Structure 1
């Protein structure tokens, strides 16, 4: 994997982690119309409630990820037609776009800080206005049916930056913990568990209740909130 691909992957992981904390439905690689595909689209109803009026007044955010200037100028992936729009890129690219007056119109620019958290660096958004053309029902349909993946999330799950899956580790360093926790039931008889007893890294295990066909997979990020385990060591 080249540097450009690695940067794109890391930025995308940061985007997904933040969107899943702040939006109720998140989809990746969404065809928002027949010719435009957006890296990520997030939706949250007004007041985060399920009532029809709250759905109609909900917010869509369109997120485009760019790793370098060549990627930015590739002619693809600059579709900013949401209620909110983000360009996520490395800080040096954001600064170059600012200095050369190429910042995208109607979009905010987010960059990772020293700890990997996305922070707003520039904002040419239109305040409370919206660039959205498509209807709520059309975009929701496309998020579910015309995307690579869709994630049903809840802001309540991550209140106060609390991840119910990996939060038992937040009070201490990972290498100080030597037991298994963070179990998460998926289907009856199948569960995931986060294990940190290997000094070389964190592992995600998936097993059946009969103990057969166990998968043991090394991971660097919490699969729910995107926490970077290696950086937390």
Structure 2
């Protein structure tokens, strides 16, 4: 059970990193109706019209919802829970071995794309049964947005609407104060007098540095991924 939980946690972290980079709003464990809970639901409005700095009502209604289900094993996949693919786009995220087994047994979910982490931890599309399938969504945008905010475990306002196509915390590659992204994360308030900085300029690898305001006591915490956009710092820069 511990191994299954570890795999699920790892896959969920990868899903969240990608969704927060590509979508405007992300929520986890969303009750999309009274009977179905989806691991992740993400939303982005239709592309803005030229000259507009904010979405129009029509761009919200024509926006895209993606439903993401995370499965750690074949037993998890066949448990009878958590295979709700009713979004405009639908993803199944699982280990490579499970994706191959589903393919060989013709068990891939219809209308869904299957993503697996590569050796560097980035999600890559392995199979795609969504081509030509169209949208499976029946709920209006207003209902799903309400459920993402009020009927979910957690909700994030994310990178797409806040800082466009790049992450201000790790691009360009130099130290960034955590305060620069408080409006993005909303849950990273620090104790008064404590500073937290991401440094990716060190040739030995990226790390978080936590220090007191007296600049004497420091903690050096190595990391492999940007916690906001999911960038893999171990790749050659």
> Shorter chain as normaliser: what TM range?
0.7 to 0.9
Structure 1: 4+ residue segments shifted above 6 A: 187-190
Q: TM-score, normalised by structure 1?
A: 0.80
Specify the alignment match of 1:83 in structure 2.
Answer: 88
CA contact 1:194–1:204 (8 Å) conserved in 2: yes
Matches within 5 A, 1:3-14: 3-14=3-14
Contact 2:21–2:159 (8 Å) recurs in 1: yes
Contact map agreement 2:64 2:89 (CA 8 A) in 1: yes
- Does 1:61 find its partner at 2:66? yes
TM-score scaled to structure 2, two decimals?
A: 0.79
Measured in 2, the distance between the counterparts of 1:140 and 1:215 equals 42
Q: Which structure 1 segments of 5+ residues have no match?
A: 170-179
Structure 2 stretches of 5 or more lacking a match?
49-53, 183-188
SS at match of 2:103: helix
| C-alpha contact 1:21 1:225 (8 A) present in aligned 2 | yes
Matched, 1:183 2:177: yes
Q: Partner of 1:46: helix, strand, or coil? A: coil
Inter-partner Cα distance in structure 2 for 1:143 and 1:219: 33
Structure 1 residue 200 displacement after superposition: 9.8
Matches within 5 A, 1:28-39: 28-39=28-39
1:24 aligns with 2:24: yes
Tell me the alpha carbon deviations over residues 139-173 of structure 1, each in whole angstroms, 9 at most, x when there is no partner.
000101111111112426251xx32112344xxxx
Contact 1:195 1:205 in 2 (8 A): no
Match for 1:167 among 164, 171, 174? 171
Number of residue equivalences: 216
CA contact (8 A) 2:32 2:144 kept: yes
Residues 1:205 and 2:199 are matched in the alignment: no
Distance 1:42 1:97, change over 3 A: same
